[in-house]
Each structure stands twice: as structure tokens, then as C-alpha cells.
Chains A and B, each alone.
Chain A
């Protein structure tokens, strides 16, 4: 008893404070991760989930995935979707951040209002964009027709390429505020003197942007892009509600394909294998973020 008391006397008392949260995460996240890995080595389907007889088939699920054309398509889609979204939302977000960093009356309240899209449940965002991209009733087709870009209603969500474009568009709408606000915060940390001395030296706007703004924002840009990658790569709700991976599996992402395998086709083990593939990519990219975040955490 005395020993226990002594153990918790100094810093180790922190364990008592931290343990409940850690235990919770261990039970509801740690255990599922492990059991998901085990599951992916087994052959669990609807039938033997109930009966409880499962067999280890080791890498067979993964071997099947490698040959699975939908899986390959989903992997490629996820990558394409992520890269397109990141590039577009980063550029727009950056431009808006620079614009709202200027000193004018409505800058702050308007920038605040622009946060709205980021907070709305993604299911609702998906619904809104499904409505905007709808073939007959959609406002987008009406606008494009009235300015003469198209002559006939486009069936955005029922053709592979346009469906993907619609998904990217909706996701960019969610991502812009996130990029904007983080870059805005980064911009405020750049000392004004730097710009003053640059303008005394006769640098023009483009030069100061390239020579001062970008280098000073390096760590901000890094974390915006890495976090953006992680959030975008695991996209689920948006795609599931807007296209459900259709038409004919052409817009499946790793997450939606995993869901389809597990909860529509009840091939739990195969779905787990897809989820693990997704996890591996996230962990690789995430490790860069973790390295930069935990640097200097020693205090």
C-alpha cells in the first residue's frame, strides 16, 4: 500500500488523471483496431458471424483485393479525389486568407461567416450538393444553360467523370474554410517589419510573396496539407450520400467500398482488409504530421 502511495506521489499521479480517457480509447479504439486486423486474416461473413465458426485464411483476402478491379479503382479514385481537392481548396483558401488579412471593415465578420460550410453535418452538405447537381431541378444546370455553356441538361451524378467532379466540388466547399482559417492564423504570425523592410528595398508584391510569405508559412502549409490529406483521404459520408460509389462502382472510395463489402454484402473480413489498406496509407502520411507535432513536446 505504501509502495503504491509512493509511486503516485510525484509525476506519476498524472497516470490517475489520464488513465480513464486512455482506458476508454483502448477499449473502444485500440481493441477494434487489433480485432480489425485479425478479422482481415479470417473469413467472417454474415453466416459464420452468427454461428461463430471462423477460420484463418491469412493473406487470402488481401490477395483477392489485389486482383479486384473495384478495389484498384477505389484506390485510384481516393488518391485522385484527395489530390484534386487538396490542390483546389488550398489555392482558394490561401487566396481568401490573404484577402481577408487586409485591413478593411467587414473582413473579420465575413471571414467568420465563411466558416459555416465546415461545421454543417456532411450528410447535409451532400444533400445540398445533390440538389444543386440534380439533372432537372438542379440550379447548376440552369445557370450553365442560361449563360450558354451547355445546351442540354447534364446528368452530373449518373456519369462517372462528372460524378467525380461533383464530389470534388462539394468537398472543396467544405475544405475551403479549414484551409483559409489555418493560413490566416499563419499569416498573422509574420512580423510586419519584414514586409516594411522588403518594400524599402524595392521588392514588388510577387517578390515579397515568394521570398517572405511562403517561407514564413512553411510549417503552417505543411500541416494544412498533411491534415487536409488525412481528412480527405478518409472521406466517407459525402460520397456515400451523394453517389454511394455509383454509377456502377465508378466513384467508390476505399472507405465506401469497405462499407459496401462489410455492411451491404456482409463480407466482413474482406471489408476489414480494405479498411486496413486505407489505414496504412493514413498512418504513413500521418507519421509526418506526428513527427512535426511531437517535436519539442519534451517539456
Chain B
């Protein structure tokens, strides 16, 4: 018995070490840009490369506040507005729709469901030109609205399909009890069902935000003014103009990962649940 316990313990240690090695290898790219963003341009080109900044250089970050053809903090703000806007639209529309999909057998339901499934797999290329023409006619071209409206189309189908499972898992009795207490369908939905499906709503909000935060194609195509562009488009533009100013580029990269990392740290369980229930039938 003791022998066996020791064996398990030993295995535990070996596996743990192996796991940490794997972690270091797979996350090395992230470590590497963080380190690089804190080096001087000179040290970046040094051979052999240094694995931590010998001279700590925070100028790449600071330079973006003071000067800038590309103002990192402004475009960070733009990204935030666009991603939050898309998130609000997606969640507001998807929550009631998913409830309907889970609870009612209405005319056209199958068609709608199919529509949401198909839109999830659409390539942006199909939508870009028509949206571009449409937004020109709507006079939202070259404003935040164009990117917000376009980005919400990624969040909505994802959210509907995920939340449908959450609402379907709520026992009908709870809803019926609410009717007995004098709720109608709308108030029961808002006061009783949404609070129960709260964690599902959080998953949808996170993913709608992340999709919009990471978008390049829409932001780059529909917004031309550098002052209004999201970070991704700004960074891409900067790469085109200044090529390989890696100290700045890696600093941009780190800043744009910050919100993602924060979401990741504080809401990890929602993310994993979103990834799994979104893809595999729940």
C-alpha cells in the first residue's frame, strides 16, 4: 500500500514537471513578446538574444502617449467602444431569441435555427463588399457604427446557439410558478429566467466582446481614419508603414492582449464552457 502510494506520488511529480515544460514551450511566444517589448531596439537585435531585458526600456509604451501617427491609447479606446457596442447589440438581441428557440414551437423556427447555424460559418469575404456598399448608403461608413454593426453579426448566432441550451435546461415548472405569481410571459422572462441563465449570458457577452476585439477585416475595411480605427487595424497599418520597429510593435501587442488576459484570469470557467458548449451539442 505504501509502495503504491509512493509510486503515485512519483508519477504525480513527473507529470507535473512535464506539464510545466509543455506550458513553457507552448506559451513561449507570449513570454517572448512581453520580454521584447521591454527591451531597447538595440538589445532586440543583439546576438545571442537576451532572455530578459538587461536594460529595462519602457519607452516603447510611453512614446505612444506623447507622440504618435499611431496613438495606441486612442485606438485602444476605439477598440473598446467597438467591442462593447457589438457586445451590447449581440446580447440584447440574442437573449430573447435563444429563449424563444428553447421554449416555443413557432412557425419558421427551424429556418431561423438553420440561419443562425449557417451564419456562424460564413467567411468575412462574402460579407465585406456588400456591407461596404450598404454602409456607404447608410452613411455610417468610416464611423465606429459600421464596425459595431458588422461585429455584432459574429456574436449573435454564437450567443443564440449557446444560450438556447441554457434556457432549455431550466425546468418549465419555474416558469409556470412565475405565471401563478402573476407574471406574464415577458415579465417571467425578465425577472425569473434571465437571472437563472445568468452565467450563460456572461459567456455570450464575453465571446461577443472577444470576437469584436479581435476583428481586423471589418475595422480595417469600414473605417479609414486612423483616429477612429480599432487597435488591430492600427497595428496592421503601423506594420505596413514602419515595417520592423519591433520594440513598438511588441508593445502594441502586449497592450492589446491586456483585456484578453484580464478576461482570461477572472472568467476562465466561462470561457471553457463557451468553447465547449458552442461547438459540441450540449
User: Which A residues have a C-beta under 8 Å from some C-beta of B?
Assistant: 11-22, 24-25, 28-33, 35-36, 39, 49, 96, 99-100, 102, 104-107, 110, 112-124, 127-132, 134, 136-137, 139, 142, 146, 173, 176, 178, 181-182, 185-186, 219-220, 223-224, 227, 230, 233-234, 236-237, 240-241, 254-255, 258-259, 262-263, 268, 271-272, 274-276, 278-279, 282-283, 286, 289-290, 292-294, 297, 299
Q: Is the CB of B232 within 8 A of A123?
A: yes
For A134, give the chain B residue with the smallest CB separation.
B244
Any chain A CB within 8 A of the CB of B178?
no
Is B241 located at the chain interface by the 8 A CB criterion? no
Interface pairs (21), CB distance under 8 Å: A17-B100, A18-B109, A21-B156, A22-B112, A22-B115, A104-B16, A112-B268, A114-B27, A115-B271, A119-B263, A121-B260, A123-B236, A176-B26, A234-B125, A236-B125, A240-B217, A279-B126, A282-B122, A286-B118, A292-B281, A293-B281
B15 and A259 contacting across the interface, CB-CB below 8 Å: no
* Contact A241 to B239, CB < 8 A, known contacts A25-B116, A118-B275, A132-B32: yes
In the assembled complex, how far is the CB of residue B21 from the closest CB belonging to chain A, in whole angstroms?
Answer: 10
Extra contacts, 17 of them, besides A236-B217, A255-B123, A272-B130 (Cβ < 8 A), are A18-B96, A24-B153, A25-B116, A25-B156, A29-B122, A32-B126, A110-B19, A116-B264, A117-B30, A120-B260, A130-B239, A131-B246, A131-B250, A182-B279, A219-B280, A271-B129, A275-B126
Complex: chain A residue closest to B51, CB-CB: A139
Residues of B in contact with A, size category: 35 or more
A-facing mask of B40-58, CB < 8 A → 1, else 0?
0000110111000000000
In the complex where A13-B106, A114-B23 touch, is A283 in contact with B260 (Cβ < 8 A)?
no
B19 CB, min distance to chain A CBs, angstroms: 5
Task: Give which listed residue, A24, A107, A128, A274, contacts B152 with CB less than 8 A.
Answer: A24
Contacting pair A110 B20 (CB below 8 A): yes
Indicate if the CB atoms of B15 and A102 lie closer than 8 Å.
Answer: yes
Complex contact B253–A28 (CB within 8 A): no
Bound complex: CA A275 to CA B129 (Å):
10
B38 within 8 A of A: no
Query: Distance (Å) between the CB of A221 and the closest chain B CB?
Result: 11
Q: Is the CB of A20 within 8 A of B133?
A: no
Is B192 engaged at the interface, CB distance under 8 Å to the other chain?
no
CA distance A287 to B150 in the complex (A): 24
For A259, list chain B residues within 8 Å (CB).
125, 128, 217
Please measure, in the bound complex, the distance between the C-alpha atom of A128 and the C-alpha atom of B36, giving whole angstroms. Answer: 11
Q: A22-B112, A36-B130, A181-B272 are in contact. Are A122 and B214 (CB under 8 A)?
A: yes
Taken together as a complex, chains A and B put the C-alpha atoms of A100 and B217 apart, in Å, by 35
Within 111-162 of B, Cβ neighbours of A (below 8 Å) are at 112-119, 121-131, 133-134, 149-150, 152-153, 156-157, 160
CA distance A35 to B109 in the complex (A): 24
The reply to whether A275 and B149 form a contact with Cβ atoms under 8 Å apart is no
Interface, chain B (partner A; CB < 8 A):
11-12, 15-16, 18-20, 22-23, 26-27, 29-30, 32-33, 36, 44-45, 47-49, 89, 93-94, 96-97, 99-101, 103-110, 112-119, 121-131, 133-134, 149-150, 152-153, 156-157, 160, 168, 185, 189, 210, 213-217, 221, 231-232, 235-236, 239, 244, 246, 249-250, 252-253, 256-257, 260-261, 263-264, 268, 271-272, 275-276, 279-281
Q: In whole Å, how far is A108's beta carbon from the nearest beta carbon of chain B?
A: 10
Q: How far is the CA of A190 from the CA of B130 in the complex (A)?
A: 46
* CB atoms of B128 and A262 under 8 A apart: yes
Given the interface pairs A115-B264, A127-B239, the reply to whether A99 lies near B19 with Cβ below 8 Å is yes
**Contact with B45, one of A31, A105, A137, A241 (Cβ below 8 angstroms):** A137
Report if A119-B236 is in contact (Cβ < 8 Å); known contacts: A25-B119, A99-B19.
no
- A22-B97, A236-B125 known; A119+B33 contact, CB < 8 A: no
**CB–CB A139/B32 < 8 A:** yes
Which 8 pairs between the two chains have the least Cβ-Cβ distance?
Answer: A14-B104, A32-B130, A121-B214, A21-B97, A17-B100, A234-B123, A14-B100, A275-B125
Task: Report A-chain residues with C-beta under 8 Å of the C-beta of B124.
Answer: 234, 236, 255
Chain B residue, CB-CB nearest to A12: B106
Which residues of chain B have C-beta atoms less than 8 A from A146's C-beta? 48
Chain B residues with CB under 8 A of A176: 26
Q: Are A121 and B232 in contact, CB atoms less than 8 angstroms apart?
A: yes
A7 nearest in chain B by CB position: B107
The CA-CA distance from A280 to B33 in the complex, in Å, is: 38
A268 contacts B125, CB within 8 Å?
no
- Are A128 and B157 neighbours in the complex by a CB distance under 8 Å? no
B126 smallest CB distance to A (angstroms): 5
Q: How far does the Cβ of A201 sit from chain B's closest Cβ, in whole Å?
A: 22
A17 surroundings in chain B (CB, below 8 A):
96-97, 99-100, 104, 189
Q: Of the candidates A14, A33, A224, A234, which one forms a contact with B106 in the assembled complex, judged by CB atoms under 8 Å apart?
A: A14
Contact at A137–B44, with CB atoms within 8 Å? yes
Known A-B contacts A14-B105, A276-B126; the reply to A182 vs B276 at CB < 8 A is: yes
